[in-house]
Every structure is written in C-alpha cells, then in structure tokens.
Amino acid sequence: MTKKLHIALLFGGNSSEHDVSKRSAHNIYDALDKEKYDVSLFMFTKDGILLGNEDSQKIFDGEPEDQVVAEAYQKMDMSSPLAPIMALNEQKEIDFFFPVIHGNLGEDGTIQGLFKLLNKPYVGSNIAASAMSFDKDLTKKIISQAGIRNTPYVVVTPENRADYSWGRIEEKLGNLTFVKPAKQGSSVGIHRVTNAEEYEKALDDAFKYDYKILVEQGIANPQEIEISILGNEHPIASKLGAVRVPKDDPFYDYENKFVDASGVVFELPVKLPQYLVDEITDMALKAYKALGMKGMARIDFLVDSNNVPYLGEPNTLPGFTNISLYPQMWEVSGISYSDLIDRLIQLGLQEFERNSKIKYDFRKLGTERVGQKKYNED
C-alpha cells in the first residue's frame, strides 16, 4: 500500500484576510483526497501564533475562535523565541506544506522562508517571488521593465506626503485615481479618489495598513478581467473570467469579494474579442515568468473602453472561497477542483526536487593574512 502524503494545511494569519483564509482552507480541506493525503490543520492566530492540529480543528469545526485561542495561549510558553511556531513540533513527520494564508505572512515571503528553513516542499511561489508580487510597487517596477502595460502611479510615504498634494497628483495622474497600500490584499485600504478631500481621507486610512502607498491613475468604467495561471517553468493559463459589479459600487471591493457577492455577476468564461483574450493571456504569462512565480497565481486586469488591457496585480495565493474565481476559472477550463489541488501539490514537489539539485560549494578560508594598512590624514 502506498504511504499517504502527510500535508500540513496552514491558514489564518495576522492579516485583514484572516477570515477569508479560513473559508479558503475549508474548501481545500474538503477537496483533498483523503485516500492520498493525511491532513493536519495549523491555524495562525490574529497575533501570528500557530495553533496545533487539535485547537485548529476546533476552530475549523465552528467553536468560538477567541475562546479556543485564549485557552491555547494558557498552555503555551510565550517566553520561548520559537513560541509562534512551536505547534509544528507536535507533528513529527510532515511531508508537505499547503499554505492558505492570504496577505501578511502567507503572500509576502514570510511563511516561504520558514518552509525553506525546514527544508520541506510546499505549494506556491518562493520567498523572492512572493515578496515581489505582494508589493504593488515592486510588481509594477518589474513588469514595466518586462514591457507589460500597467497604469501610471506615484509612491507616497509619510516622509514625502507633503510633496504630493492633490493638485500635483491631479496634474500628474488626472482627476480619477486609486489610493492603495503597497502590501495589502483583497482591496483592503483601497479608495477611489476624485477630489482633495477624498484624497487626504484615503491617505489617512491607507497609512493604517502600510507606510508605502500607491496612488494610481484610474480607468473610467473598466472591465475587471481575471485569469488563472498554473505551473512552474512552463505555466498554462485558464480561460478568462469577468467580474461585473453593481453600477452603484465604485469598484470590486472587500465586501463584494468575500461578504456579499449577491449583486456581482461572474461571467465564466467571459466573451471578448479573440485578439484581446490572446493579449491578456500573453501579458499574464509574461508577468508570471518575470516575477518568478511558481505553482499558481491569479492575475487581475483592467480593460478600458478602447479594449486596452492593463495588468492590475498578481495574487500568489489566491482565494479558494465559494466566491473566488481562481478555481472557478479552472473548472470552466476543464480542470476540476480536486484535480487542481492534486496538480498544485505535484508542482510543489517538483519544484522542491528541482531546487534540491542546486549545489552549494564551501571553501575553507585557511589562515587569515592581512595586508598593510595605510592611514591618510584628512
């Protein structure tokens, strides 16, 4: 009998997408073939502390999270420098990690660094690709260098805020802009801005989530198009999907994405001119490779009234909730939910095997010999 792969499913986290992650993890857990995989659950609390399988299962099953967390903390030695990850020690043989942590910890390279230290395979992009793709400013710099169209922008920080008045922004980017924290997901802290008062309020709010803020040129009444990417060195792209938000909503925000999508229309696959489908697909695959992403990504686009596409941003650990488009776009492209999960695990194992062949040479220094030092007077 073939030994089952023991998978650690990590979810939660100390980001604004904590509850989104819990929903995604539920769906992935249900889709994991229990004939192939033994699954242990590990939830990062809102404080960034990892809970073990038993406590994580309680929360998974609907027990009050705050109560379970409080009781778990009482049993932990918080003075230990390893307290945030000590729960991993309860499982002696973890073969593979499946992170479903959206936003901080999960998509910024942090958890990938832990997996690298543990020398274990995992789903998704590595440290560098995750960090670059999570930072909207770095993403834009890299895809711009690769010749991939995206909207003009400026970076505002607490240090240079005084230099970027609304008047200067309007002169540089026009009178429709979007204010975005550089390192946040799920539209958290994002504001549509058309005047000075909205601009200052948007910056005040965005600075709660990051100290680097993007102010991007807006596109009037764009189509919001998404595409799913799957693979390592030779990625494949799904058919395209579209998100049609109610006319009264300024953009596809957190509420639309995860709380109440009853007014949102998901068009799968979206009907667009073939040349536009080809262009978006090509841009997405180029961006995936330019950023060094592996495993999976959902890449979002805005298409203006002239059918010109602009790459919005990539998501290295996209949502797997019932509303999320990443798995739905693969469904309409011929890959079932359970098959998709299997493929992601295989891609993680293949990437680990590939990286294990990289050599590190260590040279002994021998006796240190220092040359003569000459000090000059000022």
Compute CA distances 339 → 118, 325, 331, whole Å.
27, 16, 10
Say if residues 145 and 311 touch (Cβ distance below 8 Å): no
Bridge partners of 313, per DSSP, are: 300
- Catalytic, 79? Answer no
Mention every residue, 6+ apart, whose C-beta is less than 8 A from residue 226: 240, 241, 242, 243, 298, 299, 300, 301, 325, 326, 329
Catalytic residue (one of 56, 125, 238, 324): 324
Spatial distance between the Cα atoms of 22 and 65, rounded to a whole number of angstroms: 11
Q: Look at residue 313 and give its three-state secondary structure.
A: strand
Instruction: Tell whether 313 is in a known binding site.
Output: yes
Distance CA 101, CA 115 (A): 14
Cα dihedral sign for 46, 28, 224, 285? positive
Active-site residue, from 186, 187, 238, 333: 186
Query: Is 267 designated active site?
Result: no
Rg for the chain (alpha carbons), in Å? Answer: 23
DSSP class of residue 270? -
Find all residues with CB under 8 Å of 120, minimum gap 6, and list them. 94, 95, 96, 97, 352
Which of left, alpha, beta for 121 (phi over 0: left; psi -120 to 50: alpha)? beta
Say whether 315 counts as a known binding-site residue. yes
Q: Which of 15, 17, 56, 133 is catalytic?
A: 17
One DSSP character per residue, 278-296 reads: HHHHHHHHHHHHHTT--EE
DSSP state of 45: -
Residue 130 annotated among the catalytic residues of the structure: no
**What 8-state DSSP symbol labels residue 64?**
-
Binding residues: 300, 313, 315
Catalytic positions, written as ranges: 17, 186, 324
Query: Could you tell me which residues are annotated as the binding site for Mg(2+)?
Result: 300, 313, 315
